[in-house]
């Protein structure tokens, strides 16, 4: 076997190849090789700080973060998009279309570019973060900005996809769900079992359902013995499933889940009921606290929307709604760099402006860490 074969063998090949035998909508065989950016295989990072904080409230279990922000376009969408766009190319699709709060459109744009299929994205005129918008632009997608919210964008995208026979890659597309479920398969492969609880943000509600069918599939084939309880969280101002009716003007700082009428509503309820889980709300304040905690205390920079899962866990542990010694996984759905403005708006920097002299920086550092500086002062530090 040559050098190239060895390289290829070692590299992760993306979810379509790695989980080929598990992804089966109607068992259609592929004609062409998969469209892939080597998505998936994301880290399952054990908590070092949150787990300590929650001890105070009686929690003695383990917490893991499934960091989906480390996918190729920095969100979980890449898993489903790899499968959906693979199918789009296999079926000779003329163009791909999606509505989005930003991450689906960023992912569709990247995978469409790779597959050489034109991409049309339909996004709310306002509220899509700059990081997500520039991804779509960089990948050359056509962007239609709707003077409305995600729900109206999705309605338009669905209608136009039907009328013009465009390949829609929202999570109403079964291939998206098939791809996204690979995250729960990876968690079980990494742990050797399923967690007791799975915490996840809920927006259009495709992801909670995807994880659930992934877990169920592994249980059916005997890879795991027990199923987790699915704990989904919506933002308080955008919580149609919790409130039991669509919200016409959803509001939250977590723009990715600012959705008032989720397309996968019933499926989310199914995941909740079958798993004996819950779908609950977290406030913007709770989301923000969890977001800051993740950055400052866990070293993980995630999106505001992603922090809804962590906020949910904190809320449930405080309410004693989780088993004390449970193994918990929180999905972090997107990377914090998607939304630099959130940091600017919500986290004051620890910074100082100084003259370019050693004296100025020395004084400043002495103020911050007086003992350490005195001890470590050496001749190598020359005044300039
Ligand atoms: N977290 C992030 C970062 C998201 O982008 C989304 C959804 C969710 C959570 C919720 O996942 O919709 O499967 O319940 N973003 C979609 C988009 C709506 O257009 O990018 P869900």
Task: Report the atom number in ligand 1 closest to the C-alpha of 98.
Answer: 19
Note the pLDDT of residue 297. Answer: 98
Measured distance CA(157)–CA(121) in Å, rounded: 8
Note the pLDDT of residue 75. Answer: 98
Nearest-10 Cα torsion for 203, 208, 211, 213: -130
Query: Poorest-confidence range of 11-25, 196-210, 233-247?
Result: 11-25
247-295 pLDDT, tens digit each: 999 999 999 999 999 999 999 999 999 999 999 999 999 999 999 999 9
What confidence category does residue 368 fall into, taking pLDDT thresholds of 50, 70 and 90? Answer: confident
Backbone angles phi, psi at 201, to 5 degrees: -70, 150
The DSSP code for 270 is H
Cα 203 to middle of ligand 1, angstroms: 5
pLDDT at residue 26 above 90? no
Cα 204 to middle of ligand 1, angstroms: 6
Note the pLDDT of residue 6. Answer: 63
Over residues 98-114, the mean pLDDT reads 98
pLDDT at residue 241 above 80? yes
Over residues 82-100, the mean pLDDT reads 97
| Number of residues in the chain | 384
Task: Report the atom number in ligand 1 closest to the C-alpha of 204.
Answer: 12
Helices (H), 181-306: 182-191, 206-220, 240-243, 265-274, 284-293
Nearest alpha carbon, ligand 1 atom 11: 203
Nearest alpha carbon, ligand 1 atom 15: 256
Over residues 67-93, the mean pLDDT reads 97
Note the pLDDT of residue 102. Answer: 98
202 three-class SS: coil
121 three-class SS: strand
Ligand 1 pocket mutation pick from 146, 180, 256, 337 by most atoms within 8 angstroms of CB: 256
Cα 101 to middle of ligand 1, angstroms: 7
Task: Report the atom number in ligand 1 closest to the C-alpha of 104.
Answer: 20
Backbone angles phi, psi at 280, to 5 degrees: -135, 180
Note the pLDDT of residue 382. Answer: 46
Q: Are residues 181 and 211 in contact, defined by beta-carbon separation less than 8 angstroms?
A: yes
Cα 5 to middle of ligand 1, angstroms: 37
Measured distance CA(339)–CA(304) in Å, rounded: 8
Cα 138 to middle of ligand 1, angstroms: 21
Note the pLDDT of residue 380. Answer: 47
Through-space distance between the first and last CA atoms of the chain, rounded to whole angstroms? 58
Task: Report the atom number in ligand 1 closest to the C-alpha of 268.
Answer: 14
Sign, CA dihedral 202-204-205-211, equals negative
Residues paired with residue 234 on neighbouring β-strands, in sequence order: 281
Cα 112 to middle of ligand 1, angstroms: 19
357 three-class SS: coil
Containing H/E element for 280?
strand 278-282
Q: Which residues in 178-188 are b (16+ Cβ under 10 Å) and which e?
A: bbbbbbbbbbb
What confidence category does residue 381 fall into, taking pLDDT thresholds of 50, 70 and 90? Answer: very low
Measured distance CA(145)–CA(149) in Å, rounded: 10
Helix axes 284-293, 307-318, angle to 10 degrees: 100
Measured distance CA(76)–CA(98) in Å, rounded: 16
Measured distance CA(248)–CA(236) in Å, rounded: 14
Note the pLDDT of residue 3. Answer: 64
pLDDT at residue 379 above 60? no
Task: Report the atom number in ligand 1 closest to the C-alpha of 201.
Answer: 9
Cα 1 to middle of ligand 1, angstroms: 43
> In the structure encoding, which two tokens stand for residue 133, read together?
């918008």
Mean pLDDT over all residues of the chain? 94
Cα 367 to middle of ligand 1, angstroms: 44
Among the listed residues 325, 339, 299, 305, the one whose alpha carbon sits nearest the alpha carbon of residue 129: 339
What confidence category does residue 5 fall into, taking pLDDT thresholds of 50, 70 and 90? Answer: low
pLDDT at residue 227 above 50? yes
Measured distance CA(301)–CA(281) in Å, rounded: 22
Cα 205 to middle of ligand 1, angstroms: 8
Task: Report the atom number in ligand 1 closest to the C-alpha of 207.
Answer: 13
* Ligand 1 neighbours by CB, cut-off 6 Å: 75, 100-104, 171, 201-207, 256-257, 303, 305-306, 333-334
Nearest alpha carbon, ligand 1 atom 6: 256
pLDDT at residue 384 above 90? no
pLDDT at residue 92 above 90? yes
Task: Report the atom number in ligand 1 closest to the C-alpha of 101.
Answer: 19
pLDDT at residue 67 above 60? yes
Which conformational region is residue 205 in: left (phi greater than 0), alpha (psi within -120 to 50 degrees), or beta?
Answer: left
Q: pLDDT higher for 380 or 344?
A: 344
What confidence category does residue 88 fall into, taking pLDDT thresholds of 50, 70 and 90? Answer: very high
What confidence category does residue 374 fall into, taking pLDDT thresholds of 50, 70 and 90? Answer: low
Helix axes 103-115, 130-138, angle to 10 degrees: 10
Q: Are residues 169 and 85 in contact, defined by beta-carbon separation less than 8 angstroms?
A: yes
Q: pLDDT higher for 7 or 281?
A: 281
Whole-model pTM: value is 0.94
Among the listed residues 80, 7, 76, the one whose alpha carbon sits nearest the alpha carbon of residue 42: 76
Work out the angle at residue 306's Cα, subtended by the Cα atoms of residues 304 and 309, and round it to the nearest 5 degrees. 120
């Amino acid at each position: 076997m040559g050098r190239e074969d060895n390289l290829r063998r070692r590299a992760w090949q993306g979810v379509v190849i790695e989980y080929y035998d598990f992804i089966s909508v109607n068992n259609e065989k592929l004609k062409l090789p998969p469209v892939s950016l080597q998505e998936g295989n994301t880290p399952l990072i054990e908590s070092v700080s949150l787990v300590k904080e929650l001890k105070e409230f009686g929690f003695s279990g383990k917490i893991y973060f499934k960091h989906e922000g480390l996918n190729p376009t920095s969100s979980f969408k890449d898993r489903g998009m790899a499968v959906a766009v693979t199918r789009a190319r296999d079926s000779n699709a003329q163009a791909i279309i999606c509505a989005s709060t930003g991450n689906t459109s960023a992912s569709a744009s990247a995978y469409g570019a790779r597959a050489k299929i034109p991409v049309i994205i339909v996004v709310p005129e306002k509220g899509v973060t700059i990081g997500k918008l520039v991804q779509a632009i960089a990948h050359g997608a056509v962007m239609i900005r709707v003077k409305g919210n995600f729900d109206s964008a999705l309605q338009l995208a669905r209608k136009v996809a039907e009328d013009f026979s465009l390949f829609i890659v929202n999570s109403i597309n079964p291939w998206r769900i098939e791809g996204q479920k690979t995250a729960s398969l990876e968690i079980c492969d990494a742990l050797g079992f399923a967690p007791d609880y799975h915490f996840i943000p809920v927006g259009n509600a495709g992801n909670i359902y995807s994880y659930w069918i992934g877990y169920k599939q592994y249980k059916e084939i005997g890879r795991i013995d027990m199923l987790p309880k699915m704990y989904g969280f919506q933002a308080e101002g955008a919580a149609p499933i919790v409130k039991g009716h669509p919200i016409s003007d959803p509001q939250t700082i977590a723009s990715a889940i600012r959705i008032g009428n989720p397309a996968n509503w019933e499926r989310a309820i199914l995941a909740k009921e079958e798993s004996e889980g819950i779908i609950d709300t977290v406030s913007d304040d709770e989301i923000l606290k969890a977001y800051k905690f993740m950055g400052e205390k866990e070293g993980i920079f995630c999106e505001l929307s992603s922090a809804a899962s962590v906020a949910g866990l904190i809320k449930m542990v405080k309410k004693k709604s989780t088993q004390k010694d449970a193994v918990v996984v929180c999905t972090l759905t997107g990377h914090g760099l998607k939304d630099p403005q959130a940091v600017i708006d919500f986290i004051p920097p620890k910074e100082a402006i100084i003259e370019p002299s050693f004296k100025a920086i020395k004084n400043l550092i002495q103020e911050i860490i007086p003992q350490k500086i005195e001890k470590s002062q050496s001749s190598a530090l020359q005044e300039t």
